[in-house]
Structure 1
Amino acid sequence: MISEMPNVKHLPAERVSSAQVVQEAENLGCANVKVISVHEITLGHWVRLRCQFGCSYFNQRHTCPTFTPTSDEMADILMHYSRAMIIEAPRSADVHSMVLNLETRLREKGFFRAFGMGALPCDLCDVCTIESQCKYPDQARPTLQACGIDVSQTLLNIGWDFAVKFQPCTEGHTIGMVLLD
């Protein structure tokens, strides 16, 4: 496990309240927003297995397995965060841009580790440059499921049972997440 350097100084992101973070997302047009503890995020090895056996994007996109963190690696990553923001976009086409925009805005507010992900595969290129380097590494983000995040259970954990109907990696999925601090 990688630990942070104790003498590294960060802007005090803790001074930014959850209400202010929610307001940022609402200003972008998010339909629903909730700041949660990372302990409410459910991980499972079976989620990635479902990617491998059932998704045509497996090993075909830089943002899908086998190129993404495993659920064990994601568990280690989550240890460096205390909060995350779950968003529901009004349309599935909006999720990626909203998550990236929120990530950028939150970094400007001192959340230097802000990192966004959505539940839809990357569509930045017509054909993924899987044999070479990603053309858009500043915009490409792994899917929640690719990292072993059980989206449905996480949504149930936070009381969003209305959003559980969405099937991962399918059109109509409007869920995104930004890891905060």
Structure 2
Amino acid sequence: MGMMEESSGRGTTRRAGPREQENVAIFGSLRTIHNDLTSIPADIIAVREWTRFRCRFGCAAYGTHFCCPPFVPSTEETRTMIAEYHSAVLARFDTATFPSGPDGLPPSRGEILRTVQQTIADLERAAFLAGYYRAFGMGASPCALCSTCVAQEMLDAGTTPTPADAVRCRQKKVMRPSMEALGIDVFETVKNAGHSIEVLTGRDDPPIYFGLVLLD
């Protein structure tokens, strides 16, 4: 399947297939919400089992956020769901370009992640209202919409949360699972989309986050 890549100086330009050409109008509309977008075919989204192992054995958020494993769908469910789509939009967030706060300090990681999560929710809603009724967004990293997730509050109270308890989330309209939480290999997917991406080697290096909105 073909892919349409907007010229950004970071990737290659490939010929758009017929379905991607049909999405030009919505793509332009979504760029009024967030400019750094790439229209991609859904079949370049890589779902890999190893990502969930990294969640379980490398991330402190595992089991403490309802947007993270084990409260989210499995990699197999993710793979099956993505197979129902033909096109998607990849959103890039370069934190080096984020404005400083009123105190002159750079935004905190929590502030950045809240911006990413809200933007993905706004993109999903805009696509839905434009007629893409199957639109579904995915963010990056554990949710930061609340200072403490309800799942963590339950653990602190001595109760083990279950996937069914996710209904207690205070930000259901905005909270979406991250790409990696659902088993998506972000590095491989981003490279498939024509972007360059590297592992950060310094704690002060500004990260680049990616989100995804499945369209149709």
The TM-score bracket by the shorter chain reads 0.7 to 0.9
For residues 134 and 200 of structure 2, the distance between their equivalents in structure 1, rounded to whole angstroms, comes to: 28
Equivalences for 1:21-60 in 2 at 5 Å?
Answer: 21-30=26-35, 32-60=36-64
In the alignment, is residue 96 of structure 1 matched against residue 101 of structure 2? no
| TM-score (norm. length: structure 2) | 0.69
CA distance in structure 2 between the aligned counterparts of 1:113 and 1:166, rounded to whole angstroms = 34
1:151 aligns with 2:205: no
Residues 147 and 37 of structure 1, relative CA distance in 2, 3 Å threshold: same
C-alpha distance after superposition, 1:130-165 (max 9, x if no partner): 13511111111001001000000001111111x344
Name the aligned partner's letter for residue 107 of structure 1.
F
Given that 2:46 and 2:184 are in contact with CA atoms closer than 8 Å, whether structure 1 keeps it comes out as yes
CA RMSD across the alignment:
2.1
**Counterpart in the other structure of 1:18:** 23
- In the TM superposition, structure 1's runs of 4+ consecutive aligned residues that sit over 6 Å from their partners are none
Distance (Å, rounded) in 1 between the aligned partners of 2:86 and 2:212: 13
Whole-Å separation in 1 of the counterparts to 2:137 and 2:127: 10
Q: Which segments of 5 or more consecutive residues in structure 1 lack a partner in the other structure?
A: 1-13
Residue in structure 1 matched with residue 162 of structure 2 by the alignment = none
Q: Check the 8 A contact 1:29/1:89 in 2, yes or no.
A: no
What is the aligned partner in structure 1 of residue 103 from structure 2? none
Equivalent-residue separation in structure 2 for 1:18 and 1:89 (angstroms): 22
In the TM superposition, residue 117 of structure 1 has moved relative to its aligned partner by: 0.8
Q: Which residue of 1 aligns with 2:79?
A: 75
- 3-state SS of 2:71 partner: coil
Cα distance in 1 between the residues matched to 2:69 and 2:132: 27
The amino acid that maps onto 2:126 is: R
Name the CA shift for 1:66/1:90 in 2 (closer, same or farther; >3 Å). Answer: same
Alpha-carbon spacing, 1:101–1:16, altered in 2? closer, same or farther (3 Å): farther
Question: Residue type of the partner of 1:68?
Answer: V
Residue identity in the other structure for 1:67: F
Q: Which residue of 1 aligns with 2:147?
A: 126
Relative to the length of structure 1, the TM-score reads: 0.82
Amino acid at match of 1:142: P
What is the DSSP-based 3-state SS (H/G/I as helix, E as strand, rest coil) of the residue aligned with 1:174?
Answer: strand
Which runs of 5 or more residues in structure 2 are unaligned? 1-18, 96-111, 155-164
Choose 1 or 2 for highest CA Rg: 2
What is the CA-CA distance between 1:173 and the residue it aligns to? 3.7
